[in-house]
Structure 1
Amino acid sequence: MDTLSQLRAGKLAGVRRLDLCDGLTEFPREIFDLADSLEILNLSGNRLSSLPDDLPRLARLRILFCSQNEFRHVPPVLGECGNLSMLAFKSNAIESVAEGALPPSLRWLILTDNRIPRLPASIGNCRPLQKLMLAGNRLEALPDEMAACENLELIRLAANRFRSLPGWLWKLPRLSWFAFAGNPVAGRSRDAGGETIDWHELELEGKLGEGASGVIHGARWRQQPVAVKLFKGAMTSDGLPECEMDACLAAGSHLNLIRVLGRITGHPGSAAGLVMTRIDGGFTSLAEPPSFETCTRDVYSEGMQLSPERLLRMARGLASAAAELHAKGIMHGDLYGHNVLWHPEGDCLLGDFGAATFHPENGAIPAGALEQLEVRAFGCLLEELADRCSGAVPAGLRRLQVQCLAASPAERPRFAEILAQLQTSNNDVTD
């Protein structure tokens, strides 16, 4: 019996999560029978265009997914749902978000891949808001009322129509992960480098992994083992595949970056793709992406431990990679543990440039603002790694962590300073 049939037969009493993907054109009224328990409702992949006016009867509802439907506006009734902390309306045809349609309780809002030209001023009332996904819309400005959202840590604005960005963005005390490639305000690659690699030169092998934006395959190219990333579509949660490819190629070679060999041409399905060096099997993902509960912070395996020596080695490697990127005018935009491959000996590689953006060259953004924003992301990562240290964390490293997390972005060090401090940390621990 499928889930919808079970719901209508009254067999789902007490469930906390309900997933319905059944070509629905109307909201099933039987969902209200679950009002005493339902916390997560997933209605993605249907044909819905509205929600019932009595939706607030689902008083325990915290998370609502309505992606890949036919909504043309964010239903105003959502503003009355006092416990909603996460809303997802990705890939609809949304053209408007009315004043008051966003509940003030929101922590995580996903409106990626729609047609939204403006946001309501009332979004400034969403004070708990930490994560805001707006890539692939028609936005030209953000309401000044958003300056009150001081808990914002991650914002995706890629592939919109911004010619400038508001000054209050660079003063937000917690903003750490930011993407705005594919806008007129964004910088462009001066020399992406790399080469083009014909699809027919590749011998595809097994699938190595999959992320939100693409699928990684093992392959052979000119007799050498490589990894091939094929993008799933024209828009990702972070932005445009072509922007990611440009940033990857412009990043060049660095000991702590996954090296990109070139971009693919001639794919039979016209898919965009990259060819990268294949990483030794001893490397694994440092962390898993954030969960519903953690929102902006990664999830680490319970038993993970790092010696002080390995902690310091990883911190140096990641700081060195970030310093190199910003010296080349590139902001990674997603400096997270789940985008780092690590080896138990302490070697690490930063990858996934889906949120990367080139620094503008026309003074549209204050000098150093993007780097100081990303330094906070490094501080968060440093904190997470230090919390998993099996021995005494070097005092200098803890001091550095505090500096990187300073509430005032102007008080944070640059990556070159961070690297210099880490390289002289042998007073605290010997690598």
Structure 2
Amino acid sequence: MAVKVKVAFLQSSDCWGCHQSLLNAHLGLLNILPSLDIVYWPAVVDFKHDSLKARPDGDILVGFVEGSMRTNADIENAKLMRAKCQLIIAFGSCACYGNVHGLANQWDIQEAITRKFTEAESITNENPKEPKEHMPGFASKIVPLDEIISVDVFMAGCPPKPEAIFSAVEFLLGQKPQPMSETAFCNDCSLNNENCLLEKGTLCFGPITSTGCTLKCTDDGNPCVGCLGPAKSVSSRVGKLAQMTENLEQISSGDKKNLYEFLTLFLNIPLMAGFDLAGDILQQVKKTGETQTPLANLPNETENIATKIMAFLKNHRDFTEISTVCDTCPRKIGSKSQMTKVKRDYEGLPNMDDCLIEQGYLCAGPITRAGCGGLCLKVNTPCSGCYGQTAWNVDQAERYVDIVTKGYNVALSKEELLVQIKDKLGFAEKFTLATNKNYR
């Protein structure tokens, strides 16, 4: 019987959402749980802190550290995890960047404590006072986890996508791609008729992907992105897919997302850089100089399609490595809408087709790294920036208005738009202010 891999999960100052994202994977956990020996996960199971302390240094292979470093206890526990774990994953945007908690760095810690415990409008106690007993003590400023301990893997997101979590765990476990099924996904697709997405011009990898998934993307009108890996045979629509991959220079923003996810999931090359769905594929291409797929025994059509995509990424590293949420958003930029003033989120109901910025809403997509799949945008909500910035050590609000006024249908000047962004840090550095050393 194979030796199980020891894994630990630490919850620091946060909302528990990253752990919830992992649990939300439901049946997807079945592929990895048998290989894991979870030795510490107090957010889910009644593990005692002393049990972690008692373990020999380096006894645990992988440690997931979730949450920001708000308290002295957070910092002490992070150092303890570093000692006990061979690999540390900064799990979620709190650990990677400090997240929303980092906005408190604008004030002195005592000001923040006084405000929270004695002045906030939500306080109902007639005589509010700062608690003194059983308090962990607060760090003067929040900093990212990697300024406290060394970090091996960064997994951004608020919360990270379950697919990213699986990719990291499967990579660390050295698991193999799933076995290939006999038939391609198209044969089991509800849109394998006149409603086929490929025939409508949407990049869909159903013709070369194994069938067998229980939650079909196409049932919701979304393309197949290759989660189950290659099939032993291809469907009759493979020619249409091959034709579309001949001209990747003209790929649309929505198809770009499908391309990233396909390469990550289909080729079983995990999201280890934490920011970009294609990051590690590019790293592999850079190291080897090869554009061949790492999988063997593929149908010729499948290998040709995957190889063309690998070659495209090799020749467009700048394009993929700094991809933004806008690059993976299917909404139309240069739409019939035009921003004439900044709207609050509750003002009006935006349509699902036009760019939210052009409809008047502040959306952080142009300055936020891709990787989330545009989840907020799919539910008609602007991007808030949880996957981190595409450029650091610059004024993010200034950078935002510069990008938006040049590349989007906006009737405002840079100066006019900047004035209408009332909370510049709260908008443009909501998740990352703790990384900004001007606020230390």
TM-score under structure 1 normalisation? 0.29
Query: Structure 1 or 2: larger strand share?
Result: 1
The answer to which structure, 1 or 2, has the higher relative contact order (CA under 8 A, 6+ apart) is: 2
Query: Structure 1 or 2: larger helix share?
Result: 2
